[in-house]
Amino acid sequence: MVNSFRGGTAGFLVVLCLFLTQGTPVRAAEPEPAFSMQVTPTRLVVPSGTSEHRFEVSNKGREAFQVTVEKSDFVAGESGAMRFQPGAPYAAADWASVEPVQLTVPPGETRPVTLRVTVPETPEPGDHQFAVIFKVPAAKTNANIRINRGIAAPVFVTVPGAIDRSAEIADLRAPGFVLGGPVPITARIRSTGTVHRDFRGPGRLKVLAGGSELLLPDFTVVRGATREVAASWDAPLVCFCDVTVAVPGGNSRTVQVVVFPLHLLVVLLALVMGGALVWVVVRHRYRRRVESAARELAGSGSRV
């Protein structure tokens, strides 16, 4: 997978990619943008011990750019974003070094960056994590705002031992009553093991709703973290349904959803009542005409 970043030269914000949700690299329409950076791989899972790994930084834009390569510990937010935090739980940035720390990438070319990981003696078993950050400073302009652009790739160092990939459904939310679909469904999945857990591809979580099945988006839940994911269910017109999400080898949660088109019922009742009112008015006018005709006929007979 390739992480990519494309953009202009305005602004002074650090823009970093979200790593826990799989996405498609941004593709610009012709002509190619002035700035477009791709980093591959988007993440690494490395074994314990000492090892070397390679990132590739590609320039898909029209202009050369300079990259500063950093590393940082992080915690994972429920949205999947990395929040950089020195000394975060299960931190491993001190175990790593990168070479080079600065590089220039001409248009249409690719440059390598080497990551070296050295695991200390007797570490705690399970995942330890950090991020490698590829940052491109904003170009100098006359604008009041400048944007620093960048991509962050997570690295998981798996220390052998009591490896546990357990995760659980911490919460499942859906509206109890809706007039119709689509129905929003939100699940919070919490890591309870010692390593990250991928729910991607064939291992994606499923939602069972009213006899139908839908898949939640691809995501990863990091060790010790909680991840929130959402999906929309195209519910039937009328349904008193159970919505269930289950983690294989873990727990499950179920909520009940009532789908009933009350607004359509109100419209139907209004039409019925309107029709009944019209019938009453028409019948009343008809009776008045009949009675009037009868009176006229009776008056005519009395004069003969």
Give me the mean pLDDT over the 121-130 stretch: 93
- pLDDT, greater one: 286 or 136: 136
Which pLDDT score, from 0 to 100, does residue 288 have? 77
**Does the structure show a pLDDT above 80 at 63?**
yes
Mean per-residue pLDDT of the chain: 85
Domain ranges of the chain: 3-159, 167-259
Q: Are 188 and 227 in contact (CB under 8 A)?
A: yes
User: Per-residue DSSP letters for 228-271?
Assistant: EEEEEE---SSEEEEEEEE-TTS-EEEEEEEE--HHHHHHHHHH
Residue 214: which H helix or E strand, with range?
strand 212-215
**Does the structure show a pLDDT above 90 at 78?**
yes
Which pLDDT score, from 0 to 100, does residue 129 have? 96
**What percentage of the chain carries pLDDT values higher than 90?**
62
Give me the mean pLDDT over the 13-41 stretch: 62
Which pLDDT score, from 0 to 100, does residue 149 have? 86
Look up the pTM and report it.
0.73
Fold observed for domain 167-259 = Immunoglobulin-like (2.60.40)
Which pLDDT score, from 0 to 100, does residue 15 have? 38
Which pLDDT score, from 0 to 100, does residue 254 have? 97
Which pLDDT score, from 0 to 100, does residue 143 have? 59
Which pLDDT score, from 0 to 100, does residue 26 have? 52
Distance of CA 265 to the CA centre of its chain: 35
Domain over 3-159 is classified CATH 3.30.470.30 = no
Same fold, 3-159 and 167-259: yes
Which pLDDT score, from 0 to 100, does residue 225 have? 95
Which pLDDT score, from 0 to 100, does residue 37 have? 94
- pLDDT, greater one: 43 or 17: 43
